[in-house]
Each structure stands twice: as C-alpha cells, then as structure tokens.
Amino acid sequence: MKNFSNFNFHMYTEIAFGKGALGGLAGLIRKYGGTKALFVYGSGSIKRSGLHGRIVKALNDGGIAFAELGGVKANPRRSLVEKGIELARAEGTDFYLGVGGGSAIDTAKAIALAMANDGEYWAYYNGTEPQRMAPVGAVNTIAAAGSETSGSTVLLDDIGTGKKSGLMWPEVCRPVFAVMDPELTYTLPAKQTAAGASDIFSHTYMRYFTNYASYLGDAYCVATMRTVRRYAPVAIARPDDYEARAELMLTATFSHNDLTGIGRAGDGKGGEHALERQLSAYYDCPHGEGLAVMMPAYLKYMVRRGTPDQVARVADFGVRVFDAEPEMGEAEAVAADGIERFTSWLRSLGLPVTLAELGIPEGEYGAVAERCVEDGLIPGFMDIGADGVREIFRLARG
C-alpha cells in the first residue's frame, strides 16, 4: 500500500501564455502594484535577439519606469545580487522583472527578498524561512528551471563559500506572474534546449522517486516526463516548431510548481539535485548537463544498494517512461534496461552522460563529493552518506 501524504498546493502565479503575450507586460506589472521595475537579464543574447528592445518598448509604452541590471550568468552569482540590491535602493524600484531563464528569475527573486526584508536575503538560502518578498514577474526565454512559477531559487556564493545554496518556500517566493510565449524560445541553441529539457525532466524525476506516492501524482509525473521525452528531440531538430516549444514550456512550469508533487509532500525527494548542485558550483558547468550525468548514476546506485521496493520503483520508471520490457526478468534487469534507455535518450539530445563527457578528468571530483556531504546525509528517496556519494560519482565517471 502506498503512503499518501497531506499537502498544501497554491497555484499562486498568473500565467499569460501564448503568441503575443508580451504585449500585456506593463499591465501585469501595474496589476501587481509595480510603478518602477528593476529589469534583470543575462548578457548578449537578449540584445541580439531583439527581445531587450521589445521589453524596453513594452515598459515605455505602458508607462512603467524601470532600471536595468544585466550580466546574469548561468549558475547565478551572489555578487550580482549584491549589485542589484544597491541599484534597487538607489533607483527606488518596487517591482522585480526577471527576463530569461531560471538564473535571471532567481536573481530577481533574491533582490526582491532583500528589498522586502531590510537587505537580508542570504539567511534564507541557509535555512531561515522568509515571510515576504517584493513582487517578482518573469518573462521566459527558455523552457528549463521552472522558476517562473516555483517557490525555488538557487545562488552560487561567489563572494564566500563557493558553494551553491537554494531555498524552497512556495508560500513566499513564487512570482506573481509569468509571461510565456513559446516563440521567444525559437532562437535557443540546441545545446541550451537540451540542457533545459534535462532540467525539466529532473524536477519531475525527483518527485517520482519519493517515499510518498499517489496514483494521480504518478500519472501526472509519467505524462510530464513522457512529454519531455517526446518533444525535446523535435525542438532540437526544428527550433521553430511551435507545438514542441509550447509543450516544453508548459512541462517546465508544471514540473516545478508542485502539481507533480501532490500526495508526496515533505522530505525524501530524489537526491540528484544535491549531488549536481556542488558539481556545477565547483566546475561552473550548465545545471542541466550536470543533471544528465547525475540522474542515471543515482538510479544505478539505487539498483545496487536499494531495498526491493526502491529497485522496483526504478524498474517501474523504466517501464512507464521509457518503455522498458516488464517481462524481461527480475526487477534489477528491468531497472537496468530502463536506465540504459534513459541514458540513450539523454545522449541522443547531445547531452553528456558521464563526468568524462562533461569534461571532468578522472580523479578530480573528490572535492566535489566531499562538499555534498559537509552537512551530513543527503536526504532523498535513499538517504546518501559520504560512501554513497563517492560511489555515485564513481558510477558517473564513465
């Protein structure tokens, strides 16, 4: 019999989805109390694509004053957040607009936390629960992290520990709106589309491998993962395929807004994010690429060291998501077939699936493994201690 947890679910974020959705940007900012926005974005691509100019025009035409903070990088930096806080104070902004992917939105969230809490934000990435955040809006340009509707945000502490820290406070840290036009993702390079697909997949994967489950929650998870499996190759092959881009954008959002987590609240999700987070902090590799390496390795470890129920769950994942043959033998054999199919799919997208393919030489990941367990066990579907982390990294080396 499955465990079915209590849960709270609040779909807080208003979604403006579809072609031309950007036209309502100023009205949405005004609707949620904004009079002067801090426009947070990345580097050159937003200007090369013309989106920067379109955002500026939308704000100007809508009568929304704004200041700009560019330069967000993958694995968003705490140092840029500090710069953004200074700018927000100097400019008197009251609304924070992240334009891009998860890094831009997470940066905007961190600044908004600081502006609502007398400059404090870093304590919230280290266990203190925030009570409020200034309003944040998002304009997506990549289907990936799902930060546009989640209560999650992650920062790389480049002015202190060098580690990545995250928080998940859905009641406080969700954006008030997300503008989602699939056409804004047409110009993404194949590599970013693939890494984004891996990121999307991981957010449902981690909810599937939990100590709590529900039939409906499982059905949502399986449908979401199969949708990513189907449409990621299409988007890579045909970048302007609206259907594929729209499906990926929707899976990114609903993979991480807790819909796929119903009936499985609390601790015990996955474990792969804690492993990957320090990998990308140490080597500055793309988050989605790091996840593509760690997800199969984590599954292999579960098959080696897990209980019969845990091995059966890996086998079930292989059958339901990647069409592994359920009659091919014992659960371990079915699970191994599913893991191989999963790995082949990731590789077909052009993603690395080993540490070697990620560019990390053998023997150089020991420090990363130690970082993962500095605070003790990694809680997850299987709790992982130091020996387990080292074994997973060995399984990932290729």
Kindly report, residue by residue over 356-374, the tens digit of the pLDDT. Answer: 999 987 777 788 888 888 8
Q: How confident is the model at residue 239 (pLDDT cuts 50, 70, 90)?
A: very high
Same domain for 177 and 243, yes or no, is no
Q: What is the pTM of this model?
A: 0.94
Give the total number of structural domains in the chain.
2
When pLDDT is cut at 50, 70 and 90, the band that residue 376 belongs to is confident
Question: Which amino acid, residue 293?
Answer: V
**CATH code for position 94:** 3.40.50.1970
Same domain for 195 and 105: no
d(CA 131, CA 128): 10
Q: Are 99 and 64 in contact (CB under 8 A)?
A: no
The confidence band for 201, taking pLDDT boundaries of 50, 70 and 90, is very high
Q: What is the pLDDT of residue 7?
A: 72
Specify the range with the lowest mean pLDDT, choosing from 100-104, 127-131, 258-262. 258-262
Q: Which domain does 325 fall in, by range? A: 190-396
**Cβ–Cβ under 8 Å, residues 85 and 111:** yes
Q: What angle do CA 251, 209, 318 make, to 5 degrees?
A: 80
**Does residue 292 sit in the same domain as residue 203?**
yes
Residue 1 forms part of a structural domain: no
Q: Burial letters for 109-142: b for 16+ Cβ neighbours within 10 Å, e otherwise?
A: bbbbbbbbbeeebbebbeeeebeebbbbbbbbbb
Q: Name which of 277, 292, 287 is nearest 162 in CA terms.
A: 277
CATH number for the domain that contains residue 362 = 1.20.1090.10
Provide mean pLDDT across the span 39-53: 93
The tokens for 24 are 């309502």
pLDDT value of residue 174: 96
Q: How would DSSP label each residue in 158-224?
A: TTTT--EEEEE-TTTSS-SEEEE-GGGGTT--HHHHHHHHHHHHHHHHHHHSSS---HHHHHHHHHH
Task: Note the pLDDT of residue 38.
Answer: 98
Residues above pLDDT 70, as percent of the chain: 98
**72 & 97 share domain:** yes
- Domain final residue, candidates 185, 201, 233: 185
Average pLDDT in the chain: 93
Are 160 and 278 contained in the same domain? no
Task: Say yes or no to pLDDT of 146 above 60.
Answer: yes
Q: What is the mean pLDDT of residues 289-304?
A: 97
180 or 171, which is more confident? 180
321-343: per-residue pLDDT in tens?
999 999 888 999 999 999 999 99
Quick check: is 7 in a domain? no
pLDDT at 286: 93
pLDDT digits (tens, 9 = 90+) for 51-60: 999 999 999 9
- In sequence order, what are the residues at sequence separation of 6 or more whose Cβ sits closer than 8 angstroms to the Cβ of residue 394? none
Note whether 276 and 291 are within 8 A (CB): yes
Please say which residue of 129, 156, 185 terminates a domain: 185
Q: Report yes or no on 213 lying in a domain.
A: yes
Q: Are residues 34 and 154 in the same domain?
A: yes
Could you tell me if residue 5 is inside a domain?
Answer: no
Q: Is the domain of 170 the same as that of 246?
A: no
User: Based on the domain organization, do 126 and 62 belong to the same domain?
Assistant: yes
What pLDDT is stored for residue 1 in this prediction?
Answer: 42
Q: Which residue, of 144, 170, 185, is where some domain finishes?
A: 185
